[in-house]
Amino acid sequence: MSTILLTTLNARYAHTALGLRYLYANLHELQAETKIVEFTMNEQIQSITEGLLIHAPRIIGIGVYIWNAAQCSELIQTLKKVSPQTIIVLGGPEAGYLPHRVDLSKADYIISGEGEVAFYELCKKILADDAPEEHFIKAPIPNLGSIYLPYNAYNDEDVAHRYIYVEASRGCPFECEFCLSSIDEKVRNFPLDQLLEEFEILWQRGARSFKFIDRTFNLNMTFANRILDFFLSKEPPYFAHFEVIPDHFPEVLKEKIALFPAGSLQLEIGIQTLDPIIAKGINRPLKVDKIFDNLRFLENETRAHMHLDLIVGLPGETLEGFGRNLDQLVSLTHSEIQIGILKNLSGTTLSRHDQSHGMIYSDTPPYDILQNNLLSFVQIQKMKRFARFWDIFYNSGSFNKSVPLIWKEGSVFEGFYAFSEWIYSQTLSTWKISLERQISLLHAYLCLYHDKESVESLLSEDLAQRPEKTIPFFLRQSTAEKKTKENENFVTPKRQAKRS
C-alpha cells in the first residue's frame, strides 16, 4: 500500500525515468509512503491500471512525454472511470506546455516545469485536505544546489540491467526554435563535488552505463573536464553518453576525448542543418568551419562513437539542400547519422513559420511535419521511409562494407534515395524486416548495378561477425570459415560496438 505512486510508460524496459526519481528524492517526509512503478508502452493500459490501483494510492503522479502521450491519455481516462477518487497529477514536457494536443483533461492537476518543489507542496496540501483550486500549476525554478539528487532511487535491478540517466546541468543558452530546451535560456549547474560523489556511489554499486541528458555538456569546461576525468580514472568497460554542441571542442577537451578506449564514449552531436541561412531562420547558431574541423578530429584522432543528427523539413530547406547536408557528413565521418523528421512541439516558437513557409503538421504525437511549401506530403512520406531504411542499413553497422556500393562514388543522398524507393517497392513496409530479408534485399539491389562476385565478397565480410543462423544460405559457405569476433566490451551497446 502506497499513498503516492510515481509512474510513466517508458519506451522500453532498458530506459528509466529520471524525472520520477527526482520527485521521489524530494518528497521528504512523504517519501516513506511513496513508490515508483514504471511500465513500458507495449503493455496493455488496463493491465497498467490494475498494476497501479493494486497499491490503493491516493495520488498518482504520471510523467507524460511525446512518445507516451496517447497511451497516458487513455490511462488517465481509464483510471478516472474505475477509481474516480484517485488524484492524478501530470508532469513532463507533453503535459507542461500548452496547447495540449492529446486529451489530458481528466487529470486533476498539471505541473508545468521542474516539479521537485511544486509536486511535494501539492501532495502535502492534498493529503492535508487543503487541495488548491488551481488546475494548471506553474512550478518555480528550483535552486539546483538545494534539491536532493535522485541517484540512490535507482535500485539494484536498474543498476544491473538498465540505463542510468544522469545530468550535470539544466537549460540551454541557445534559442533553436524546434527545441523545448530553448525556453529556459539560462544554464544552471548542479554542485559538482556532490554530483561526483553520487557517481562514485553508483559506480561502486556496479553501474557502468551512464547517459547524460545535459543539452550542452561541453559548454562548461570545468564540469566537462572533471566528469571526463571521473571516467578516465576508471577501469573499462563502461559506457558514457554525452550530448555536445558541435563547434566547441577546446584543445584540453580534445586531449581527454582522445584518451577514451573504443566503445566507452558516445557523443550525440546535434547538427540538424549545415546551411547557414536555414540555421539563422530558426535561431540556431552555426559555425560550419569549426564543426567540420571538430568532426574530422573526432573521426580521425579519437575512438569516440558519434551520433549525428539531421532534420528533414526545416523551414526553407529543400530536399536537395538536405541531400547536400547528408553528403557532406558522410564524407567527414563513418559514424551514425540519425535522420529526424521535423516536429512542432507545444511550447516552442516554431509555429511562427507556419504561414510564410506553409508548414503543416500532424495533430497527433509526434506532431511531425506533413508538408510545407517546398516539400509535398508525398515527399515527406518518402523521406520518412528513407530515414527508416537509412537506420536499418547504414546506422545499424551491419553492412559497413557493402552499403557504400549503393552510391559508389556519386551522391550519397541520391544513391540511397533510389535504394529506398526500390526497397519499399519490394516490401511495402518499413518495419518487421528480418535481418535475413535485409541481406537478401541488399544483395538483390547491389547485383543490379555491380558484379555479383564483388557484392557477395563485401557482404560476406560484413556478415562474418554474424551467428550462422542469420546468414542466408547463398552466403554461408563464404562466411562459415571466417572467425566470429568476440565482443570484448559487454557494456557497449551492440549497435555502437559494430561501428567502433
Residue-wise pLDDT for 203-217, tens only, equals 999 999 999 999 889
Average pLDDT over residues 494-500: 65
Q: What is the reported pLDDT for 467?
A: 60
Query: Are the CB atoms for 395 and 334 separated by under 8 Å?
Result: no
CA distances from 129 to 26, 30, 31, 124, 310 (A): 21, 15, 18, 9, 50
Give the total number of structural domains in the chain. 3
Q: Looking at the structure, tell me whether residues 122 and 60 fall in a common domain.
A: yes
In contact, 392 and 335? CB cutoff 8 Å: no
Final residue before a domain boundary, out of 343, 375, 407: 375
Range scoring the smallest mean pLDDT among 165-179, 437-451, 455-469: 455-469
Within-domain flag for 279: yes
Q: What's the pLDDT tens digit per position in 169-184?
A: 998 888 888 888 767 6
Cβ atoms 28, 58 nearer than 8 A: no
Res. 500 pLDDT band, cuts 50 70 90: low
**Whether residue 125 sits in one domain with residue 180:** no
Q: What pLDDT is attached to residue 473?
A: 64
pLDDT attached to residue 465: 72
**pLDDT tier for residue 482 given thresholds of 50, 70 and 90:** very low
89, 198: one domain: no
Alpha helices in 258-318 (DSSP H): 276-281, 288-301
- pLDDT digit string (tens) for 109-151? 999 999 999 999 999 999 999 999 999 999 999 999 999 999 9
Average pLDDT (58-79) is: 97
Residues 206 and 272 in one domain: yes
Angle 318-395-465 (CA atoms, 0-180°, nearest 5)?
155
Q: Are 81 and 178 within one domain?
A: no
User: What confidence tier does 479 reach under pLDDT thresholds 50, 70, 90?
Assistant: very low
Average pLDDT, the chain: 92
Per-residue pLDDT tens digits for 387-398: 999 999 999 999
**What's the confidence (pLDDT) of residue 499?**
65
- pTM value? 0.90
**Strand, helix or coil for residue 6:** strand
Same-domain check for residues 289 and 398: no
Number of other residues whose CB lies within 10 A of the CB of residue 196? 16
State which amino acid sits at residue 329: L
Mean pLDDT of 328-336: 96
Q: Does the structure show a pLDDT above 80 at 488?
A: no
The CATH number of the domain holding residue 79 is 3.40.50.280
Residue 449 — pLDDT band, cuts 50, 70, 90?
very high
- 115 and 245 housed in the same domain: no
Could you tell me the pLDDT band of residue 484, with boundaries at 50, 70 and 90? very low
Residue 131 inside a domain? The answer is: yes
Considering the domain boundaries, does residue 381 fall inside one? no
Alpha carbons within 13 angstroms on the beta-carbon side of residue 403 total 22
pLDDT in tens, 231-261: 999 999 999 999 999 988 999 999 999 999 9
Question: Lowest-pLDDT range, 1-10, 172-181, 188-197?
Answer: 172-181
Specify the CATH number for the domain of residue 325: 3.80.30.20
Give Cβ neighbours of residue 486 (< 8 Å, ≥ 6 apart): none
Could you tell me the residue range of the domain that residue 416 belongs to?
A: 393-500
Interstrand relation of 239-244 and 209-212 (parallel, antiparallel or unpaired):
parallel
Average pLDDT over every residue of 461-480: 65
